[in-house]
Structure 1
Amino acid sequence: MDFAALYKSKLTTPEEAVKVVKSGDWVDYGWCTGTPNALDKALAARMDELENVNFRGGVLMRRPAIFDVPDVADKLTWNSWHMSGIERKACMEGFGFYSALRYSELPRWYRENVGRINVTMIQVAPMDAQGWFSFGPQASHLKAVCEASDVVIVEVNKYMPRCLGLYEEAIHVSEVDMIVENDEPMPQMGGGAAPTAVDEAVAKLIVEEIPNGACLQLGIGGMPNTVGAMIAESDLKDLGVHTEMYVDAFVDIAKAGKINGSKKAIDTGKQVFAFGAGTQKLYDYVNNNPECMSAPVSYTNDARTIAQIDNFISINNIVDVDLFGQMNAESAGIKQISGAGGQLDFVLGAYLSKGGKSFICCSSTFKKKDGTLESRIRPTLETGSVVTDARPCAHWFVTEYGKVNLKGLTAWQRAEALISVAHPDFREQLIKDAEKMRLWRRSNKR
């Protein structure tokens, strides 16, 4: 087969490609750095001809042009698998909604539950000599999306890194219906602000629990980033990576000579991830790097996969926790701010790992708009808040005031442990709340 000729026969303009979209269609916009750009702009230009178009995507790093069409809420709905700040604004504007699902379930859901997708538009890396387009740093669930689609349109971008993997990390030109070309630099996701004293205190408590040869999973946020920075400067060695999201911290740890994956029982020597986003440093590092393995999220986040890796260390953030040990990582009351993602999968998988530990961390307090402090450890979660990690699942919990192992504790022990790492200004009130809730024994330490 002449792949170059096949490519040429399917090449078209963004304006021509988006003509396949009809009113009432379901259109998949891929994921994170794979969200289309030229196709998005072309589709936005003809949205006045359409109505009730339903989009799926997640972790947006740029505001799509379709979000800015007139009367947007009458024209479309955006259905997010995991929300970024851009998508939170879409919810506030009345056309964005969160789709609740464990991230690991996405490939199966697309194959078994979605029915059909009318059109899929995704960014890919340039075609190789064998006719394959790499999905770049987001194998995630994209192969399953394409299989479920009536029409697949790829937007080829020379800046998209080519990420290697074992399966479902690419799509063949024979499986694509239309091709457009648009070279646009990759969106950048930096490490955020400099670490705070709280970030550093929490990170120190976690890093001292990590043994040589451990396998790491880091979530998104200042604290996991700070943990990564400390690991890069530590004496740890022979570390591995098996994570949902690949972030800049892993590049720093690898370049510091800490990562070789030699102790991993599976995927030995490989840094495995479902998707990635960061600075140009990350995109350059994963490009054609045989040490990095892009894999479907149904593999990376499966607790059964994670359980096969000894000394698995999972590190994630939450918004708040109540005295029952219910942990919320995705909402502020009824306001959805992120998503379930894979946190629960890694909490469960790390505990199943021989020597494994999951760490859920947060600052003990946060500052309200009026400048007052409020505890992240609450008697009960705020009305409407979502339970991301159910209380039987929690393992280690860490604030700047200490770390506690919650696994298997009875109700009064759990309340005592959580209060022991709360901000001192809130402990007495939390004890009173625990007493009212019958979670406090008279013999508990005060």
Structure 2
Amino acid sequence: MKIMDEYRKKCVSADEAVKAIKSGDWVEFAWGASFPGLLGEAIDRRKEELHDVNMRGGVILKPLPFIENDPAGEHFTWNSMHMGGYERKLAQKGFAYYIPIKYSEVPRYMRENCRTDVVAIQVAPMDAYGYFNFGVTISHYAAAIEKAHTVIVEVNEDMPKVHGGYEHTVHISKVDYIVEGGHRGLPVLPSAAPSEIDKKIADHVLSEIRDGSCIQLGIGGMPNALGKMIAESDLKDLGVHTEMLVDGFVDMVEAGRVTGMCKNLDRGRMAYSFAAGTQKLYDFMQDNPAVAAYPVDYTNHPFISSKIDQLISINSAVEIDLAGQVCSESAGPNIISGSGGQLDFVEGAYNSKGGKSFICLPSTFTDKAGKVHSRIKAMMTLGSVITDTRAGVQFVVTEYGKVNLKGMSSWQRAEALISIAHPDFQEALIAEAKELKIWRRK
């Protein structure tokens, strides 16, 4: 059958396509800026016919209509592998549940552990060879498609077509239903404006970056500040290898800081697995041969990333204890986001020749009652999830400085971490360290 004949045969309305979903199914739905809005609305219209349907995704940037209109949770359950702000609110109401992951392993979860009955995702328009491009989200989609019995794609004319890599497309022969969405735009994730504290933390990290380093950045005020500071620096021949492509990388490229010519892998190219940002980022990605889209078991696997010399990994944290354990995903027992790829890059950067891993956090936070608390604690808040073990953590950075914990004994760690805590909390932390028998009198 000719490709266009097959296309026309499989092209249906959103309402027709989602009839493939049955009660009890698991549906792979959305990740980040890849959001099949027409399919979401059509699924919502079927809610009275469906029960116990498990929807799965993560980093959702727009409301999920089938969850919003199912307040009792009788029809749909949202299962998230990484919670953004919207999903966090759903979880607090009991409408969403977290799937603990090590992000580099998610494609394997899809192939070996997770049930996937239907894949319903957004793609770019089909090319002349019958391939639909995943665009802003590669992640684990190819693996999920391998296991699903039904594959539905919603075509978004505004989805950028990106270069691979591999597993960044799906062929029409693997697709069951095609829904034409026209020009849908993409959800925007504005870069958070960096605070003065963010800038101070970023400055400590910037001093550790050398010409030819390969950068991994997360999202948020501090990484955004660092991206701008790198763009304004005199660094040269930087590379990019990251799970998430954000606006900060575009700033670095436009300033001439990124060439990728020192990379051991993907020389001259920026490797990523999913992207979210402003329209500037999406325009930059369109048909750009400098961008290399990969599944997350390539971008994040420490065995792969560690082969890149001078890999610099920058990630944030919620709190850290005096042993050096890091929590980056919960406030006590309340889930905030997820482990994502942080542990992947903590391991990968440290094992890279000349590489460095940074965990960055402001020294304090202010609660809803206006009380200030230290993020460096003698012991973790009860119920907090350990994202990075004490043995794995290398650099820890606050606005008061940076310390390298590798090779330090318990008393050295306590001393080092207290030295970069907010001065108002240092005496109390010393007293607690003494009680824990990890403070050495000098």
| TM above 0.5 | yes
1-structure distance, mates of 2:267, 2:124:
26
2-structure distance, mates of 1:297, 1:95:
27
Q: What whole-Å deviation, never above 9, does each CA across 1:293-318 have from its counterpart, x for those lacking one?
A: 01010000010111111111000100
- Residues 46-445 of structure 1: pairs in structure 2 closer than 5 A: 46-114=46-114, 116-182=115-181, 183-192=183-192, 194-443=193-442
Q: What whole-Å deviation, never above 9, does each CA across 1:357-393 have from its counterpart, x for those lacking one?
A: 0011010001111222110001111111000000000
Answer with 219-228 or 234-243: which moved more: 219-228
**Partner AA of 1:231 in structure 2:** I
Identity of aligned residues (%): 52
**Partner AA of 2:108 in structure 1:** R
Provide the secondary structure at the position in 1 that maps to 2:106: helix
Change (3 A) 1:190 1:205: same
2-structure distance, mates of 1:261, 1:103:
24
**Partner AA of 1:220 in structure 2:** I
**Partner AA of 1:324 in structure 2:** A
Q: Is this contact kept in 1: 2:363–2:422, CA < 8 A? A: yes
Answer with 272-281 or 104-113: which moved more: 104-113
1-structure distance, mates of 2:216, 2:235:
15
**Partner AA of 1:390 in structure 2:** T
Partner of 1:45: 45
Q: Is this contact kept in 1: 2:161–2:287, CA < 8 A? A: yes
2-structure distance, mates of 1:372, 1:139:
42
Provide the secondary structure at the position in 1 that maps to 2:55: strand
2-structure distance, mates of 1:389, 1:146:
31
Partner of 2:7: 7
1-structure distance, mates of 2:272, 2:307:
16
2-structure distance, mates of 1:401, 1:99:
35
Q: Is this contact kept in 2: 1:215–1:241, CA < 8 A? A: yes
CA displacement at 1:30 relative to structure 2: 3.3
**Partner AA of 2:107 in structure 1:** P
CA displacement at 1:89 relative to structure 2: 1.5
Aligned-pair RMSD on alpha carbons? 0.9
CA displacement at 1:242 relative to structure 2: 0.1
Change (3 A) 1:20 1:107: same
Q: Is this contact kept in 2: 1:30–1:120, CA < 8 A? A: no
CA displacement at 1:27 relative to structure 2: 1.0
CA displacement at 1:214 relative to structure 2: 0.2
- Structure 1, unmatched stretches of 5+, are none
Q: Is this contact kept in 2: 1:30–1:142, CA < 8 A? A: no
**Partner AA of 1:332 in structure 2:** A
CA displacement at 1:3 relative to structure 2: 1.1
Provide the secondary structure at the position in 1 that maps to 2:441: coil
**Partner AA of 2:49 in structure 1:** E
2-structure distance, mates of 1:246, 1:51:
36
**Partner AA of 2:104 in structure 1:** S
CA displacement at 1:71 relative to structure 2: 3.8
Give 4+ residue runs of structure 1 displaced > 3 Å after superposition. Answer: none
2-structure distance, mates of 1:204, 1:117:
44
2-structure distance, mates of 1:76, 1:242:
36
Provide the secondary structure at the position in 2 that maps to 1:4: helix
Q: Is this contact kept in 2: 1:214–1:239, CA < 8 A? A: yes
2-structure distance, mates of 1:427, 1:286:
46
**Partner AA of 1:106 in structure 2:** V
Q: What whole-Å deviation, never above 9, does each CA across 1:320-353 have from its counterpart, x for those lacking one?
A: 0001111000000011010010001100110101
CA displacement at 1:438 relative to structure 2: 0.6
Partner of 1:35: 35
Q: Is this contact kept in 1: 2:67–2:77, CA < 8 A? A: no
CA displacement at 1:5 relative to structure 2: 1.2
Q: Is this contact kept in 2: 1:272–1:295, CA < 8 A? A: yes
**Partner AA of 2:403 in structure 1:** V
1-structure distance, mates of 2:150, 2:420:
53
Q: Is this contact kept in 1: 2:26–2:55, CA < 8 A? A: yes
CA displacement at 1:85 relative to structure 2: 1.0
Q: Is this contact kept in 2: 1:402–1:421, CA < 8 A? A: yes
Provide the secondary structure at the position in 1 that maps to 2:132: strand
Provide the secondary structure at the position in 1 that maps to 2:73: helix
| Count of paired positions | 441
Answer with 71-80 or 283-292: which moved more: 71-80
**Partner AA of 1:258 in structure 2:** R
